[in-house]
Amino acid sequence: MTSTTTNPTSARESELLARVPTGLFIGGTWREASGGGRIAVEDPATGRTLVEIADGTVEDGAAALDAAVAAQAGWARTPTRERAEILRRAFDLVAARADDFALLMTLEMGKPLAEARGEVAYGNEFFRWFSEEAPRIAGRYSENPVGGSRLLTMKQPVGPVLAILPWNFPLAMGTRKIAPALAAGCTIVVKPATQTPLTTLLLAQVLEEAGVPAGVVNVLTSSTTGKVTAPLIADPRLRKLTFTGSTPVGKKLVEQSAEQLLRISMELGGNAPFLVFDDADLDKAVDGAMAAKMRNQGEACTAANRFYVQRGIADEFSRRLAERMGSLVVGRGTEDGAQVGPLIDARARDDVAQRVTEAVDAGARVLTGGSAVGDTGYFYAPTVVVDVPADARLLREETFGPVAPVVVFDTEEEGIALANDTEYGLIAYAFTQGLERGMRVAEALETGMVGLNAGVVSNAAAPFGGVKASGFGREGGLEGIEEYLETKYVNFPL
């Protein structure tokens, strides 16, 4: 592991930050928070403030919902082809400003520029995908089996939506919710994460330029997410809540939403197992492990968190993984050659460090890494740990960081049992060259998604989501737009 030099903010960065809106976007208007408060947005690579933005209040939240409600009927009546063309224009505009979005994400979240560019491409696909799905919204017509009438079903928008976003994928998590909502005919209030609001603010500016009518998309930034969103969730005019984040917060939101019986979709935490069987192609398995573990510095709900390797190849896999992890370049994401950026804040870095220390104290061995990097920013070295006790937090809880704990197993049944031994069920990875084994394992894993000989599965054309404590509902794919549609049945006699 090596580290690049952390440089101060460049002229290009300063110029971009000066162009990003810093107010609330409500009813098609940019404005300051009603209380005049401001939030400092920090660069996690330096600890310095990038810019200050509006700190929205409860009153601002109410205004945002008012705007969404006022725009709902008109947007629902907008022809699907027109909605589709607006989304397609948004896709083109984001693509044209890909460098701006990538740099902005790197500044406020920390990921290397190359990875940020990948997120722009991935996240933007939701605009293109749902621009194509909007005109395909359809019901069905059928005869009453006993005669005398016809049965008609139709799809209609759920209504105003509240979307609460996480900080780790500032663009993709926004487009993954905004695009299907708009395609379905729903208006939306978007609450970005306090740590990474700038990408969402720039996205709102792009959507305005693409022709989204006033009030259809509203962006509410605030340092007190729970305080400003609770009244919205309790408001009977809100009809849908979508959230990506931790399972404990998701549970609280589900409780709050019960009073209004809101339609809800929850993409919550994960603790993804990564299974490597003794017949796997080791080169492909290590490549897959690097992709599954190190995307976003390991700060992803889909990140591989528990590596289970069959005994015959465990030592060689661990050696190769440690070699690859140890060679990664740690540094500010804007620096040439940087492959691993900082964690989001000091608390995140310290939590990762504490988990590794606990495992080592309990008998685990560090093959590479195992410590913070540098005196500036929130960097942690890519780490591989072996001989990890079964009750270690590195295995039992989701770890948001660049740490790969490796555990040995003997039989296929044991490997599957270890993989399923968690409350979470978002995604699992399995590497084997045996087709029959691959299908057995994929069917037996208790997750919403499986990467079979693949370290990355996210795709706008595929349904993303989990089971168990990882939530419910799906984003992307044919299923994604259904989360924002109600089915109405009409019976008419003949």
Locate all alpha helices (DSSP H) within 236-341, ordered by sequence.
Answer: 247-258, 282-294, 311-326
185/86 Cα distance (integer angstroms): 12
79/68 Cα distance (integer angstroms): 18
Pairing mode, if any, of strands 240-244 and 161-164? parallel
Catalytic option among 125, 267, 299, 412: 267
378-405: buried (b, 16+ CB within 10 Å) or exposed (e) per residue?
bbbbbbbbbbbbeebbbbbbbbbbbbbb
**Looking at residue 334, what DSSP letter applies?**
T
Count Cα neighbours of 237 within 13 Å in the Cβ-side half-sphere: 17
Answer yes or no: are the C-beta atoms of 151 and 489 closer than 8 Å.
Answer: yes
Amino acid at 6: T
Amino acid at 486: E
Instruction: Write out the H or E segment, with its range, that includes residue 273.
Output: strand 272-276
Tokens of 196: 């990474």
> Has 267 been annotated as catalytic?
yes
| Residues with catalytic function | 267
